[in-house]
Structure 1
């Protein structure tokens, strides 16, 4: 089950009993990756999202992980630092990023969408602190009962901003060349592996993706170099989104020696992943397929896929509205007597 923002956390970034029910309902997935969880206050992107940087947040997540485990599931926390994709009205702090370049479009705030603000460019000495934030949150995740963590290196958030050739205009050791632009991601993965172990650490990437206005001008070189460096740490998996040409993604599969999860349908387009897309990418060498929206409305998605049962469509109006409607109200398939 792919990570999906649902905006259902309680005040203070706390996981709730409804969240425990939601994830437990979907425990038949081979692996659940949670919605993005902020590793620090300044790392929060959207209001209503959960965190893993306080004792209260850590405690609240234990109900969720216990519920998933009671139903026989496995669950990783996706650690997501929003970087420039944030707003002072959400965090009380000015967003940070590799450079003082705002994200494209508007960001969500407690009072509605607002133009993305200009972030504060991180000083060179500050950058390692934000790489370490993932490791600190990972330690809390394991304490909260998670089976592991997935670092969110995709979709225009902080890691993706460092990889970008237009959001990252730095001239120090974190910018410019491919080797320098991958450095932040490598340091974050290294720190996390050191704290929780390689078998509990995964990472999600969106090669060539243009979320929030990021651009990458050298996708094959950039991601081949990144995967080569990450292979040294032997993480549990790399989770790729189909955000660039299939030929490039196939090349990255060949370049990556470890387990590969493929998310076949990027973004919020009209199509959602089904058996056809899953089979196609399995044929191209993916070890696992992640399903997003199909899991929202089909808590029993595994059974539906196995038995070729109808897949209920997702209702976009309920994605981020809060409450249990459109969250806990989707039933398992009803067999006729």
Structure 2
């Protein structure tokens, strides 16, 4: 394995001991009120040897919830819950950033305590069903956020970032990928607005840039990351202008001097190389579905500064030790990915066990 993977690096204000980080993964194991628990703290602490833990998507306000049992970071009880998690990770000598994720239209009233209609850039109903306690249900047409509400949502991200730092996180990652609210503003099929947040590329990237600016102002650019997934059709997203849209977004984000840009690679190598050249600070790359050796080559050849792993980190709490020593990996159990208790969450064996 390339030695480059084990070289330390500083991403903004966050010092990383090596380059193998844990990707954000929804696990649906918080309380119905969005409060992280001792079980969540155990899960993340088990994986503290990763260079950085990026947590599951965490809603910055009540309307940001999409799925059952996902955590929030917008009230005192949630902050206290996250403090248990960050304390446990830091005690295990780890580093952790909380991913701020507003689900936007990817939601159902039955999955939220307030039971309100989901909100989005435009009233465009997403295809597919949402899992609820009563089973899969069609997602409703979302309510379009007013111009004033969009600005208010930016401020919700700002407050959530401050709350994350209060909870002991080393920083936050803004989720601008995978078809959730920030991505919904970027994509033409989900953003049909006629105000300053819709239409042209400059307008469609405005919300993303405003969120990043607000968060960086609040907690420091060196503690702020941003995730994108160019061309990813997940959650009924259709992008026809990725080669214009994403360079424009990255150029607009670059002057903020954020800690890192996290790219979910969808296979467009030309675009990936373009974004690498445009991005001035740490670039984090998630090349899903590939082995560690392939990801290590991205670090060795300079395409990425840090690489993230998802399912491998889920199934192998001691993944770093296993990769270093060439040990075999545990097999993940998809049946236990979402919801439930310890099974498939904190009971994957380590080498020492």
TM category (shorter chain) comes to over 0.9
> Take 1:73 and 1:202, find their aligned partners in 2: how far apart are those partners?
17
Q: Which residue of 2 aligns with 1:237?
A: 260
Determine if the alignment matches structure 1 residue 316 to structure 2 residue 334. Answer: yes
Which of 14, 28, 33 matches 2:54?
A: 33
> How does the TM-score come out when normalised to structure 2?
0.91
Gaps of 5+ in 1: 266-270
Normalising by structure 1, we get a TM-score of 0.95
Tell me if 1:299 matches 2:322.
Answer: no
The structural deviation recorded for 1:250 is 1.1
- Structure 1 residue aligned with 2:85: 64
- Hey, what's the Cα distance between the residues in 1 that align with 2:256 and 2:152? 20
SS in 2 for 1:125: helix
> What residue number does 2:143 align with?
120
Correspondent of 2:165 among 111, 118, 142: 142
Q: Cα deviations across residues 31-72 of structure 1 (Å, max 9, x unaligned)?
A: 000001011111101011111011111011111100000000
Deviation at 1:281, TM superposition (A): 2.2
Partner of 1:189: 212
TM-superposed deviation, 1:310: 1.0
- Provide the rounded CA distance (Å) in 2 between the counterparts of 1:321 and 1:177: 40
Runs of 5+ unmatched residues, structure 2: 1-21
Counterparts of 1:76-115 in structure 2, within 5 Å, are 76-91=97-112, 92-115=115-138
Query: Hey, what does 1:50 align to over in structure 2?
Result: 71
Paired position in structure 1 for 2:185: 162
Ranked by relative contact order (alpha carbons within 8 Å, sequence separation 6 or more), the top structure is: 2
264, 267, 280: which one pairs with 2:297?
280
Contact 1:250–1:284 (CA<8 Å) still a contact in 2? no
Residue 107 of structure 1 aligns to a residue whose secondary structure is: strand
Q: Is the 8 A contact 1:261 1:288 kept in 2?
A: yes
Contact 2:69 2:339 in 1 (8 A): no
SS in 2 for 1:108: strand
Q: CA deviation at 1:244?
A: 4.0
Q: What's the CA shift for 1:284? A: 5.0
